Amino acid sequence: MALRPIITAPDPRLREVSKPVEKVDDALRALMDDMLETMYDAPGIGLAAIQIGVPKRVIVMDLAGKDEEPEPRYFVNPEILDPSEEMQAYEEGCLSVPDYFDEVERPARCRVKYLDYNGESQVLDAEGMLAICIQHEMDHLEGVLFIDYLSRLKRERVLKKLKKEQRLAAAS
Ligand code: NI
């Protein structure tokens, strides 16, 4: 396993639409292992492959609390079915938009169809934080970031700040 660098906005790769995975094999499992390790190290609760620059439809997640046993989840080629009409507002953050949090509204419940770590087909009914997190990560596969749901003014302010920090980091 290896840590991979996480790319941050406004890196144009984050706007790419990720491609479906053809086969869940050892190479893909190695990618998922790296993603999980990178996510734990950050630390974060969810990571899409494009966030380490790999445009594949793969997500890893772990929503276990600090004092709980780790509960890694892997989603390959996930699809969202039956999103609820009821919406839920949640304060979101993203490893690709560091140090910024804001409230986003999403369907409160959804069903997710996906392939697991072993390539088996699964269906999961998600609600609460799990539903929110899955939808946030799914957006990454379409090149969408949570700041896209905010006002243009807010989004531009966040991106401007990130660009400035990246310039300072590159210069130092
Ligand atoms: Ni994110």
CATH of the domain at 75: 3.90.45.10
pLDDT digits over 55-98, tens only?
Answer: 999 999 999 988 999 999 999 999 999 999 999 999 999 999 99
Q: Does residue 101 fall inside a structural domain?
A: yes
Q: Does residue 20 fall inside a structural domain?
A: yes
The CA angle 49-66-42, to the nearest 5 degrees, is 35
Q: Does residue 7 fall inside a structural domain?
A: no
Parent domain of 83: 12-167
How close is the Cα of 114 to the center of ligand 1, in Å? 19
How close is the Cα of 137 to the center of ligand 1, in Å? 6
Q: Does residue 2 fall inside a structural domain?
A: no
How close is the Cα of 150 to the center of ligand 1, in Å? 14
Does the structure show a pLDDT above 90 at 172? no
C-alpha dist (Å) from residue 150 to 22, 63, 145: 34, 24, 10
Indicate if 137 belongs to the active site. yes
Q: Does residue 135 fall inside a structural domain?
A: yes
Q: Does residue 4 fall inside a structural domain?
A: no
Q: Read off the pLDDT band of 7 (50, 70, 90).
A: very high
C-alpha dist (Å) from residue 123 to 35, 79, 80: 22, 10, 10
Q: Does residue 6 fall inside a structural domain?
A: no
Catalytic residue (one of 22, 127, 137, 156): 137
Residues 141, 17 contacting (CB under 8 angstroms): yes
Placement of tokens 């039956």 in the chain: 82
How close is the Cα of 94 to the center of ligand 1, in Å? 4
pLDDT digits over 95-138, tens only?
Answer: 999 999 999 999 999 999 999 999 999 999 999 999 999 999 99
Q: Does residue 172 fall inside a structural domain?
A: no
Measured distance CA(136)–CA(132) in Å, rounded: 6
Domains identified in the chain, total number: 1
How close is the Cα of 118 to the center of ligand 1, in Å? 24
